[in-house]
Amino acid sequence: MMAAAFVKKWGDRITMTTATTARTHRKTRTGRSRRARAMALLACSLLWAAAVLGCAGKATPPMAPVVNATAVAEPLPAPEPTQVCLLLPLSGPYAAYAQRILQGARLAVSHIAGAGVPVSLSTIDTTGEDWARSLATLPSAIRIVGGPMRPEALGEVLSAPGAFRRAHLAFMAELPAAVTTGQSGGAARAVAEGRDVWRFFTSAADNVDALLSGAEAVGARELGVLYPDESFGVRRSILFRQMASGRGLHVAAAQRYTPDDPQGAARSAMRLLQESGGQELGAVYIPDVWSQARQLIPNLLVLQRRRPLILGSALWAQTMDMRRPDDALLFSGSVFPGAWWSGSDSQPARALRQGMAASGARPGFWEALGFDFVRLACRMGDLPENFTPQDVTAALQNAARMDWAMAPLHWDAAGRAAQDLYLLTPTQTGAEPADMDALRQLLAVPDSPATPTTPARNQ
């Protein structure tokens, strides 16, 4: 605006001066020429000044810079790695499982890094000296921790300084109702899942839920339980009856037996059917290892006109042995729950198998657990500095939408975990997903030729 006013003011003055001079002065041609040259010089000077002021006072669009097409762009800074920590007992009775979790976790780090996402994985040995101090001094950027595996380590985790600045996902089937805080034995502290710690593991309820779904799928309404007379068997028997009742199924009979006593097993099977009032059982739950189930099943099959669906234990996955000639016949009407199926076609399961194959090994549940934990932790993102339990649960629910290598976990609004297990059946080539339609047809046939005709004796 200054430049425009300047030109107007002095431009008008130049015009007026030129006009006046032309009217009043009629001098010689030489005089006129000198005056004309002077006025032209003045006009040029004024125009030059206006241009200078215009450049200073008006936002004139700049010329586009000349860019060298061959220049290399400034590289972007590398993304900050996602930081994850594992609390594992790397020595002692749990060490073999811990090492397998760690192997799966390391494969996940390599797999994710291959997609351009850096991950930093640290490990604390919970059987080492002063490991709780190592946990307390973790960098503040580490807010998601996998573990511990042992209930006795949970008290030290929750009493460590800054414990609630991190979300702990315990590798435990169930959490203790309370823990003792402090290494020297302090006050008892109640533990709540979804508030103090979250679970990343298969629960007993997950196993029973899968088995009851199988019983429903073949139309079994009257159920029996044949369980070992020891702590594990008793607890599973109670849970099975409670959950069956909640689903409208009827447990008509339950009998215990002494493990490794074939004669006693035969008598227990007979008492089981007597207790049911002569009503045939559609399914029988045996919460025991493979070898014990092998002794019990023939006794159940010979005592009923229709064979019941045998509901096995997840322990079968670790001890299954189909080398005996009659095993395929004996276990053809059996199912058991599992968190890992080696034939899964999910992309993460394929990646895990490929990673393990490079070292000449095959993955199992424990490797899949570590593999999926790291993947889930990366998908949870950065928790807020002062996160709440609700923040953690929401992050878990969102991250759980991923594809899984193992059977998928999910969390409810209260932060309680559940896992949708595979229902598997034993075959000569390993465990395969159960074909429930085929099982329904098999179990519906009276006096099936697949049914052994004599009870087992000292097998």
260 sits in the region (left: phi over 0; alpha: psi -120 to 50; else beta) called left
Contact 157, 198 (CB under 8 A): no
How many beta carbons lie within 10 A of that of residue 314, not counting itself?
21
H or E element at residue 212: helix 204-217
Q: Is residue 458 part of a domain?
A: no
Give pLDDT tens digits for 258-286.
Answer: 988 878 888 998 899 889 887 889 999 99
5 pLDDT exceeds 70?
Answer: no
Classify 123 as helix, strand or coil: strand
Q: Are residues 239 and 214 in the same domain?
A: yes
Domain for residue 181, yes or no?
yes
Inside any domain, residue 283: yes
Confidence band for 179, pLDDT divided at 50, 70 and 90? confident
When mean pLDDT is compared across 198-202, 303-307, 377-381, 427-431, the lowest value belongs to 303-307
Question: Is the confidence at residue 83, as pLDDT, over 80?
Answer: yes
Quote the CA–CA distance of 299 and 110 in Å, as a whole number. 50
Cβ neighbours of residue 27 closer than 8 Å, sequence gap 6 or more: none
Judge if 435 and 286 occupy the same domain. yes
Q: What percent of the chain has pLDDT over 70?
A: 78
Q: Does residue 449 carry a pLDDT above 50? A: no
The CATH number linked to 286 is 3.40.50.2300
Look at strands 144-146 and 167-170 and give their pairing.
parallel
pLDDT at 377 over 80: yes
pLDDT (0 to 100) of residue 77: 55
More confident of the two residues 42 and 405: 405
What pLDDT, on a 0 to 100 scale, did the predictor assign at position 91?
95
CB 427 within 8 A of CB 420: no
pLDDT of residue 185: 57
Half-sphere exposure of 264 (CA within 13 A, CB side): 12
CA distance 53 to 60: 12
User: For residues 347 and 186, what is the distance between their CA atoms, to the nearest angstrom?
Assistant: 46
Positive/negative CA dihedral, 131, 133, 137, 140: positive
124 and 163 fall within a common domain: yes
> What pLDDT is recorded for position 301?
87
* pLDDT, average across residues 102-113: 97
Which among 352, 334, 336, 332 has a CA at the least distance from the CA of 344? 352
Residue with tokens 């998601």: 144
Global pTM reads 0.79
- 315 occurs within a structural domain: yes
pLDDT, average across residues 197-216: 98
37 or 172, which is more confident: 172
Shared domain check, 393 and 275:
no
Q: Give the pLDDT band (50/70/90) at residue 74.
A: low
Tell me if 218 is assigned to some domain.
yes
Pair (248, 397) in one structural domain: no
- Rounded Cα distance between 391 and 296, Å, is 48
Q: Are residues 299 and 429 in the same domain?
A: yes
Domain total in the chain? 2
Can you name the residues that pair with 120 across neighbouring β-strands? 83
* Residue 287 structural domain: 204-339+422-444
Looking at per-residue pLDDT, the higher value among 78 and 448 belongs to 78
Rank 7-11, 41-45, 119-123 by mean pLDDT and report only the highest.
Answer: 119-123
289 with 433, same domain: the answer is yes
Q: Tell me the longest C-alpha to C-alpha distance in the chain.
A: 148
Which position has the higher pLDDT, 286 or 34?
A: 286
Q: Does residue 27 form part of some domain?
A: no
Residue 436 and residue 351 in one domain? no
Let me know whether 381 and 279 are in one domain: no
- Helix 389-399, helix 365-380: angle, nearest 10: 120
Cβ atoms of 334 and 309 closer than 8 Å? yes
Nearest 5°: phi and psi at 255?
A: -135, 145
Position 102 in a domain: yes
Q: Residue 75 and residue 71: Cα distance in Å, rounded?
A: 12
CA distance 245 to 134: 47
Asked if 309 and 430 sit in the same domain, the reply is: yes
Question: Using CA atoms, how far apart are residues 369 and 171, in angstroms rounded to an integer?
Answer: 9
**Range 220-236 average pLDDT:** 95
- For 310-354, how does the pLDDT look when each residue is reduced to its tens digit (9 = 90+)? 999 999 998 898 888 889 889 999 999 999 999 999 999 999 999
Say yes or no: 92 and 194 in one domain: yes
Q: Are strands 250-257 and 222-228 parallel, antiparallel or unpaired?
A: parallel
- Say yes or no to pLDDT of 446 above 70: no
Q: What integer pLDDT is reported at residue 183 of this predicted model?
A: 53
pLDDT per residue over 98-107, tens digit each?
A: 999 999 999 9
**Is residue 36 predicted with pLDDT exceeding 90?**
no
In a domain, 292, yes or no: yes
As a whole number, the mean pLDDT across the chain is: 83
Q: What is the DSSP pairing of strand 417-419 with strand 409-411?
A: antiparallel
Answer yes or no: do 221 and 363 share one domain: no
pLDDT at 189: 84
The whole-number pLDDT of residue 182 equals 60
